Chain A
Amino acid sequence: MYHKEKSIQVKNSASALYNNLGVLRIAPRHLTYFTVVHANVVNMVSASWDGLNYSHRQLQSKEPNVATSTSLIMQAAFCPLPSRDLLVVTSQKGIQMYESDGSIMVYWHALDTPETPTAQAVFARGISAVRESYICVGVSSGAILVFDVPIKGSNITLSEVLKEHKESITDIAPECSGQPGMECIADLVSADDGGNLYVDCIILWKGTVVAGYGTGQIHLYEAVTGILHAEINAHARWIYSLDIAPFSGLLLSAAEDSLVRVWHLTMTPETNSVEVAHLHNECVTDTQICGAKFCDGDGYAFAVTGYDLSEIIRYTQS
C-alpha cells in the first residue's frame, strides 16, 4: 500500500518524546516543513516537493537567564490557523512561538518554575490550534493555557487558563474534521497522566476521540457521551504518536515496538457507529518510533522519526 521513499537527513537524532515530528505543508510554495526535537534544540527542515532542495535551521530552547541549566524541549508542533501558521515549542521553562519558518520568535511565555527543583517536574506539553484564533498548550500542573492569536504580529495574549485536569497534560487535539462550517460540538480534547491507563496521544475527528495508550491499545470514543466505539490491541509497546488524515479518515499509529500502522476509520452517522479497519504495517527495524505524521490531508504520504535516528523516513502510497 505504501513504499519507502528517500529519507531526509537531519542534523541531530530525535529524542524519545511523544509526537516528536511536526509537519506543515505549504502548498503555494511546493514545500513541506518538518520539525524534530533533539534535547534542547528543534531541527527544522524545509523540503521542496520535487526532492531537490532541502534547507535546515535549528531553534534553541529559550533560557530566562544564563545562570540556569539548559531547558529541555518537550514538543514542537505547527499550529495552522486560518490567518497564519505558527510553530510552537514547549520546554521545561516555557512556551515559544515562532513564525512557521522558524525565522522570528513572536512570543514567549515563561512557566512558573520554583527556585529549587521540586519532585513534580515543571514543563509544557500538548499543543493545539483551536477554532479561528486560539492556541492551547498543556502544562505539567494539569492546566491548559489558552492563547489568543491576532491575525498578524506579536500581540499574542494569554486569555484563559483551563483547570479541569489535576495531572500533567500529555496531549491536546482540536476537532479536525476538515470540513469548514461544520458544527463542532466539542472543540478540544485533552489527556493527562493520571489513572492506570495512560493516554499519551489523542485525536478528535468528526466527534470521535481516538486515544493511544501506554499499554499499546487504541480506543475510539464518542466525544460527547464517552461511549466506547472500538478497542484495538494495536501495539506491543507504548504508543508515541497518532495522526489522522481528515479528508480520507486514514489513521496513523506509531509505537516503541518499531511499528507504524495505518488504519481506516469510517463514520456512519445514521447508526452512530464507527468502524475501524487495519490496512498496513511498516516496521522500522530496531527503532523506537517517536513521531509519525501524514504529510497531507488525504494520507497519501507519511513521515516517521525514531529515537537515536538522524533522519526523517518517508513513505508514499504505491
Chain B
Amino acid sequence: MSSRTLPLLFINLGGEMLYILDQRLRAQNIPADKAKKVMNDIITTMFNKKFLEELFKPQELYSKKALRTVFDRLAHASIMRLNQASMDKLYDLMTMAFKYQVLLCPRPKDILLISFNHMDAIKDFVKDTPSILSQVDETYQQLIEMYTTLCSGEFQLIRQTLLIFFQDMHIRVSIFLKDKVQNSNGRFVLPTSGPVPYGTQVPGLIRMFSCTGEEVTRLQFNNGGNYTAALREGSFEIFRDRVTKLGTNMYSVSRPVETHMSGTSKNSAQHTKVNTAPNPLAKEELNLLAKLMGGLEVPKSGNADNVDNIVFQDQQVNAELAKIMGEFTESGEQSPSSSSKGDDLLAMMDGL
C-alpha cells in the first residue's frame, strides 16, 4: 500500500518504547546519570543518519517479524538487557499504544501530529546533549519535508496500511482498561461523542438547494451521538501546540502501569504467525538494518574516562539493571529461565 509508512511506524513505536523505558528507569530509582545514558544511547541509535536514510526510502512495510527484530536490537543498543518475556511485554505495550493512537486519530493527517508529539518528547529527553539533539532536529526536518505536503487521501492510505499491520491485535493493556479506553475483550472504545475532527461539521444537517444555488430547505436529523464542534487545528511546525494528546507520554503521570497477559499465548501466536513463505527481499532488508543497528557502538566521545573506567561503570549499571530488568549474562546471551525466575520477571514487568 503506501510506501511512506515505515518512518512513521518506526518513530512512533520508538517513541512509545522510550516512554516505557523512561518510566521503568524512574520507577526503579536508577541513578539519573545512568538512566540518561541508557536513554541517550537508544535515542542516538534510533536517529542514526545512515539508518534513517534507509528508513525514509519509499518501501513497503517490513513484516511483523522483521520490525520486531529491529526493536529488539534498538532496545539493546544501550547497556541495558532485556530477556525474552520482558521484550515481549515491552513490544506488546508499544504496539497496542500506537494502534490506539492510529485508530482514535480524528483525521488521517493527525498521524503526523501524533508523530510530532513523540518527537517533541524525544527532544525533551535529549535536550542536554547537543549532538543527539541535532540528530533529532534533522529528523524533524525530514518529516516535515516528506509529509507536510501530502494530501489527506495519501495520509488515509498510510493510516490504512498501518491498520492492516495492526490488524487482529487485541492485547489488553492495564492503563487502557483503567481509563476505560479499552474493553475487556481487548477492543478499543470508539466514542460517538466529543469534538469532531478539524474540517468536519457536527452531523445532523441536510441543506437542499435550488438550481440557482439558493438554499431552499434545511432539515435536522438525530445524529445518534453527542458531538461538539471541532477544536482548533494542531500545528505541523517544529515548536508549536499539537492540540491532540495522542502520542504524548501517558506514563508520565505517576501511576502504576500494568498489562494483563491473559490471552497472551493467543496473541504471541499471532505475533509469530507471519508469512512463512521464504522472502529473500525481506531478509536482505532485515540484514542491512540489523547490521546498521548492531554495528553501532555507543560513541566514545572525547571524555576523560579511560577504557577501564567505562567497563567498570558498565558492569555496575549492568548489575543493577540486571536485577531489575531481567536476565543478563556476560556475553549478552539470554539464558533459559526457570519457572521461579520466570515468575520474578513477570512480577518485575508487572510494574510496567
Contacts and interface: CB of A to CB of B under 8 A. Distances in A.
B196 A198 contact: no
Interface stretch (B123-131, B157-165, B245-253): B157-165
A67 B281 contact: yes
B2 interface: yes
A287 B160 CA distance: 15
B152 interface: yes
B233 interface: no
A259 B192 contact: yes
Given A68-B281, A230-B209, A286-B190, A238 B164 contact: no
Interface in A86-134: 92, 116-121, 123
Interface string A65-80: 0111110101000000
A198 B152 contact: yes
Contact of A119 (B4, B190, B207): B4
Given A16-B163, A39-B164, A236-B227, A216 B201 contact: yes
* Interface residue range, chain B: 35 or more
Nearest to A218: B206
A13 B282 contact: no
Nearest to B205: A233
A16 B208 CA distance: 32
Contacts of A231: 206-207, 209
Interface string A195-219: 1101010000000000000111100
Contact of A121 (B107, B157, B197): B157
A273 B224 contact: no
A39 B281 contact: no
B151 A193 contact: yes
A293 interface: no
Contacts of A281: 222-224
B2 A233 contact: no
A203 B1 CA distance: 25
A16 B154 contact: no
Nearest to B99: A308
A136 interface: no
B152 A67 contact: no
Contacts of B227: 236
Interface string A158-180: 00000000011010000000000
Nearest to B165: A39
Residue of A16, A234, A273, A287 with most chain B CB atoms under a 10 A cut-off: A16
Given A72-B1, A232-B206, 10 more contacts: A15-B163, A117-B3, A117-B57, A168-B153, A193-B154, A216-B196, A232-B205, A238-B156, A278-B221, A278-B222
Interface of B: 1-4, 57-60, 103, 106-108, 151-154, 156-157, 159-160, 163-164, 167-168, 170, 183, 187-190, 192, 196-197, 199-211, 213, 216-217, 219, 221-225, 227, 275, 277, 279-282
Interface of A: 12-13, 15-17, 38-39, 66-70, 72, 74, 92, 116-121, 123, 167-168, 170, 193-196, 198, 200, 214-217, 227-238, 257-259, 272-278, 281, 283, 285-288, 307-308
